[in-house]
Structure 1
Amino acid sequence: MDADVLKAIEVSNLHMVAPNSLGKLLAGAQRKDIPARTVTHREGDTNPHLELVVSGVVRVFVRAPDGRTMTIRYCRTGSLLGAVSLFASDFSLPASLQTLTATKLLSLSPERVRHMVNEDRKVALALLEELSQRVLTFIYQIPDNAFASVRQRMARHLLDLASEGASAHFAAGLESGPELVIKASQSDLAEAVGTAREVVVRILRELRHEGIVHTDRTGIVILDPARLVQEMRWNISS
């Protein structure tokens, strides 16, 4: 296996699979180089799939009848895409997937994955761990999406788009760190949080005046990540 694939596996739930079984699991897997801004799977697709993000960023988003979109997950190196499609009866993809950057994916054979689940307990446990994490993530997002203000959703997505692991770093109580630069347009942010571009412009202006971010032609620089983490809390008293 290539070094970049091994690195992605090490940070994925597949890291618990023994090398011999991992080799069987990945037999016949195909690498895919996907350009930025490409929709790889659309809402309603019924084809089973399991893909490992080797590099790049993929967003999972839903679209409202009026055309607005909202991002519900960002997937980076080590993320597994499509595990539920292998086991859900009458599966229909509830969201669409789009690359935000040039992305490398490793596409596994659904039939081989199902076979290895039956053959090796650790493969089954790896995918159960993956599915459990997805369920918990979406449950945690219910209050975020239902009760949070647009500004609070903006704060979460700005941190999500920053360097990998930034949210955990600052949520742990660290008050300082290197500058975090986000390469995203105002239209991209509006799509991600399900609002109008004009609202994003207003919120960025507020954050800039409060010293939380700085904006210029190169992107958005997060100056005070700890305050963005505080913004994410939709119910401060809880």
Structure 2
Amino acid sequence: MDVDVLKAIEVSHLHGVAPDSLRKLLSEAQRKDLPARTVMHREADANPHLEMIVSGVVRVFVRAPDGRTMTIRYCRSGSLLGAASLFASDFSLPASLQTLTATKLLSLSPGSVRRMVNEDPKVAVALLEELSERVLTFIYEIPDSAFASVRQRMARHLLDLASEVAHEQVREGPELDTELVVKASQSELAEAVGTAREVVVRILRELRQEGIVHTGRAGMVILDPARLVQETRWNIGS
């Protein structure tokens, strides 16, 4: 098993599964290397799937009829995607999944996962822990969205804006640059997160000093999306 896969398993809910069961679970798994801005699954997809992020950042979002989007989860290394699709009757994916950065995935066989759930209780417990965490995360999102600090709201808004720009660039052509760039003024950011421009200036200065963003003529470049994701409380454990 590749070293990067082992590291991802160590921080996932599969870390407690015995080696023999883990080998069976991953026996038919396939690696996937996806470029930034790839839509992995679209809303209403009914296909069962279970994928583990080996590296990269994935955005889970919903889209309104007028085209606006709202991100409901950012996923990092070790995150399991699609557990509900294996067990929910009449499943229909309620959101879309898009890579924010170049992402490495391990796509597990739904049949192998279901067999191991019946064979090894620890596999079942791992998926129950994953599903329980997802439920709690979505519940916590409600107060966190309302009561998060300005820096947390800024972090999420920057990721959302970068995602929207990336979506538009994909439609225009795949040859465009793959950097996550936010093209918004400080005043626009302040209005979006409900604060003063001076507060936005201070937070951006902190993010620059920490090596998370870089500002230039092209806009604000997100240098470290994973660290920006960590700023958002509703992503703890994702």
**TM-score where L is the length of structure 2:** 0.72
Match of 2:29 in 1: 29
Q: Provide the C-alpha distance between the structure 2 equivalents of 1:124 and 1:197, rounded to a whole number of angstroms.
A: 47
Match of 1:101 in 2: 101
Q: Provide the C-alpha distance between the structure 1 equivalents of 2:42 and 2:29, rounded to a whole number of angstroms.
A: 21
Deviation at 1:159, TM superposition (A): 9.4
What are the within-5 Å matches in structure 2 for residues 1-238 of structure 1?
1-145=1-145, 147=146, 154-157=153-156, 184-186=180-182, 199-200=188-189, 202=191, 205-209=197-201, 211-214=202-205, 216-217=215-216, 219=221
Contact 1:151 1:203 in 2 (8 A): no
Q: Provide the C-alpha distance between the structure 2 equivalents of 1:29 and 1:71, rounded to a whole number of angstroms.
A: 28
Contact 1:63 1:69 in 2 (8 A): yes
Identity of aligned residues (%): 65
Contact 2:186 2:200 in 1 (8 A): no
Deviation at 1:144, TM superposition (A): 3.4
Match of 2:165 in 1: none
Deviation at 1:122, TM superposition (A): 0.2
Q: Deviations over 1:175-215 (max 9, x none)?
A: xxxxxxxx74325xx8xxxxx99733656844343x22226
Give SS of 1:43's match.
coil
Q: Provide the C-alpha distance between the structure 2 equivalents of 1:46 and 1:21, rounded to a whole number of angstroms.
A: 27
Deviation at 1:219, TM superposition (A): 3.0
CA separation of 1:143 and 1:216: change in aligned 2, threshold 3 A: same
Q: Provide the C-alpha distance between the structure 2 equivalents of 1:185 and 1:103, rounded to a whole number of angstroms.
A: 18
Q: Provide the C-alpha distance between the structure 2 equivalents of 1:2 and 1:232, rounded to a whole number of angstroms.
A: 31
Contact 1:186 1:200 in 2 (8 A): no
Contact 1:63 1:70 in 2 (8 A): yes
Match of 2:168 in 1: none
Give SS of 1:46's match.
coil
Structure 2: state its 5+ residue gaps: 161-178, 206-213
Structure 1: state its 5+ residue gaps: 162-182, 191-195, 234-238
Q: How many residues align?
A: 198
**TM-score where L is the length of structure 1:** 0.72
Q: Deviations over 1:131-172 (max 9, x none)?
A: 000000000012334x459957633526989xxxxxxxxxxx
Match of 1:168 in 2: none
Deviation at 1:95, TM superposition (A): 0.3
Give SS of 2:48's match.
coil
Deviation at 1:65, TM superposition (A): 1.2
Q: Which amino acid aligns with 1:40?
A: M
Deviation at 1:30, TM superposition (A): 0.2
Q: Which ranges of 4 or more aligned residues in structure 1 deviate by more than 6 Å?
A: 158-161
